[in-house]
Amino acid sequence: MSSNRGASRRPSLPSFLSGLGRAPASSGPGGPPRPQPQPRPVVKLKSPREINLMREAGKVVAEAMAEARLLAVPGGTTAEMDEAVAAVFRKHDAQPLFLGYPCSTKGKPPFPAVICSSVNEHVVHGIPNRRPLREGDVVSIDTGCKVGGWCGDSAVTLAIGAVSPDVQKLLDVTAETLALAIRAMGRCRYWSEVASLMEQYVKSQGFHVIEKFVGHGIGQNMHEDPQVPNFVSKALRKNDIRLEPGIVLAVEPMVAMGTKDVRTLDDGWTVETKDRRPSAHFEHTIAMTPEGPRILTLPEA
């Protein structure tokens, strides 16, 4: 599940917990707020044993994703996908990470499902429902679970039947953006180098990186430091992420066909592109090891 991009270097928070930082201190009576120095994020490195434990959660997530893929057909529903994923989690005694997550919008209920299902112009955090999917739709499925105290998180965007060539290109480009990021993690020393490659590739294909949401560290909690943007900013250059053995990241490019600007709907959860053109979202949980990046949310061989 994506984290909301923010200047704060507190542990990464999803979009529905954004805006909860402290009010800035005043420079004096009647004076403007005084900027406060932000501490560098504390990155919790994982041992090889802990990475192996995270792999167990990742395998359950991969199995759940495989079940959701089987239902990504015309006439299927995202509610059915949610039920199938929940069944996989129950089989493995895995704790769903999304179900019951509190909403920061006053009066809005906690997240009611084990998956986020975002159709067409919906980017992230969509709520599953009984509306039949139609030929030409795309649906982004995002889910995560905790097994033995350790988390796994993954997302994929699926075509429902045949889609238009421009939509298929959007899916292909977003999937390749994640793939190139994983390859680059094996040779780059800092995340800003990877993020630059991701951003350049997306732009070269005529699409836009959605900047409101970013990836995140992950471990015993779903959202840990650092925030992991899919683009380069001054904040990233100032607090760059060293790609050292033991760091585990949920890398999740979100790409829009049109504008990168988004808004949250009245349900307090669903985020859509402002121009209502399609978007795509792919994610893996990836550990850095002495041998290079290890994808923890791949299906078991």
The string of pLDDT tens digits covering residues 238-257 is 999 999 999 999 999 999 99
> Angle CA(12)–CA(276)–CA(262) in degrees, nearest 5?
25
Distance CA 236, CA 47 (A): 25
Using one digit for the tens of pLDDT, what is the confidence trace for 201-227? 999 999 999 999 999 999 999 999 999
Residue 33's pLDDT band (cuts 50, 70, 90)? very low
Using one digit for the tens of pLDDT, what is the confidence trace for 90-127? 999 999 999 999 887 788 899 999 999 999 999 999 99
Which pLDDT does position 102 carry in this prediction?
87
Distance CA 87, CA 182 (A): 30
> What's at 291, amino acid-wise?
E
Using one digit for the tens of pLDDT, what is the confidence trace for 140-183? 999 999 999 999 999 999 999 999 999 999 999 999 999 999 99
Neighbours of 144 (CB within 10 A): 30
Residue 277's pLDDT band (cuts 50, 70, 90)? very high
- Percent of the chain's residues with pLDDT above 70: 87
Provide long-range contacts, Cβ within 8 A and 24+ apart, for 159-165. Answer: 159/72, 160/72, 160/73, 160/74, 160/76, 160/133, 160/134, 160/135, 160/136, 161/73, 161/74, 161/134, 161/135, 161/136, 161/137, 162/135, 162/136, 163/136, 163/137, 163/138, 164/136
Residue 38's pLDDT band (cuts 50, 70, 90)? low
The mean pLDDT value for 46-69 works out to 98
Structure-model confidence comparison of residues 9 and 105, the more confident one: 105
Element (H, E) at 261: none
**Is a pLDDT exceeding 60 seen at residue 299?**
yes
Which pLDDT does position 8 carry in this prediction?
38
Count Cβ atoms within 10 A of the Cβ of residue 35 and give its class: 0-12 exposed, 13-18 middle, 19 or more buried. exposed
Peptide linkage before 290 cis (omega within 30 of 0): no
CA atoms lying within 13 Å on the CB side of residue 100: 4
CB 227 within 8 A of CB 240: no
Residue 28's pLDDT band (cuts 50, 70, 90)? very low
Distance CA 113, CA 25 (A): 39
Which pLDDT does position 3 carry in this prediction?
67
Residue 5's pLDDT band (cuts 50, 70, 90)? low
Residue 22's pLDDT band (cuts 50, 70, 90)? very low
Residue 161, phi then psi, degrees to nearest 5: 65, -150
CATH number at 42-295: 3.90.230.10
**Is a pLDDT exceeding 80 seen at residue 87?**
yes
The mean pLDDT value for 26-42 works out to 48
Distance CA 150, CA 95 (A): 10
**Is a pLDDT exceeding 60 seen at residue 19?**
no
